[in-house]
Amino acid sequence: MDEEKKIEEQTEDVSGEVTEEPETVNFTEQIAELEEKLKKAEAELDKSFGKMKDINTMYVRLQADFDNYKKRTAEQLKNARGEGIADAMMKVIPIADVIGNALKMITDEKVAEGVNMINRQLNDTLAAFGVEELQALGKPFDPALHNAILRVPAEKPEMSGCVIEVFQKGYRMGDKILRHSVVKVAE
């Protein structure tokens, strides 16, 4: 039966050749279907690019947060180390005072020479940690650096407001004042 239909569909050409009648194809339907599939694929692609962009943004933010965390942690570690050194130096500074007072009282030259060597070593150690003495004598009084316990009339007008005697040396480490100088100020 199939064969009969085939035969009916065949026509004879003028030249006597037998040909099959071409099937009619509806291209507009196929194009519409393909366009619909293309739109869906483009929408999926846009959605995927959006997700990828969001993930990339999250990655960049996470990387920046991590970099900031490392910087903040390094800064905290540096500050903690500096605070630890400052605390230790504040315990050592009174020893420097005692050695300084001892040097004023020692009369034997050989003993004074030995204590002086110890004093130099101590001062070198303080300097190695960035501790320096606050220069106060003859300088203008600064309440941020000095602690005035006496005010006396100035012998010379140009000395008014200046430190004329230091009772206890002051020290700083970088910008941090470890101990204020205890001074007498002329008025």
Q: CA angle at residue 124 from 123 to 129, to 5 degrees?
A: 95
Task: Kindly report the backbone phi and psi dihedral angles of residue 146, in degrees, each rounded to the nearest multiple of 5, phi listed first.
Answer: -120, 150
Mean pLDDT of 58-81: 94
Cα–Cα distances in angstroms (integers) from residue 32 to residues 25, 27, 29, 39, 183, in the given order = 14, 8, 5, 10, 96
Report how far residue 3's alpha carbon sits from residue 38's, in angstroms, rounded to the nearest whole number: 40
Provide the edge-to-edge strand list for the sheet that holds 176-179: 131-134, 170-173, 176-179
Q: What is the pLDDT of residue 120?
A: 94
pLDDT in tens, 115-158: 999 999 999 999 999 999 999 999 999 999 999 999 999 888 88
Instruction: Please say if the pLDDT value at position 20 is more than 70.
Output: no
CB 52 within 8 A of CB 142: no
| pTM > 0.75 | no
Spacing of C-alpha 170 from chain mean position:
31
Report how far residue 68's alpha carbon sits from residue 74's, in angstroms, rounded to the nearest whole number: 10
pLDDT in tens, 66-76: 999 999 999 99
Report how far residue 164's alpha carbon sits from residue 183's, in angstroms, rounded to the nearest whole number: 8
A 10 A CB-CB count for 155 gives 10
The sign of the CA dihedral 34, 35, 36, 42 is positive
The structure tokens listed for 164 are 């004329």
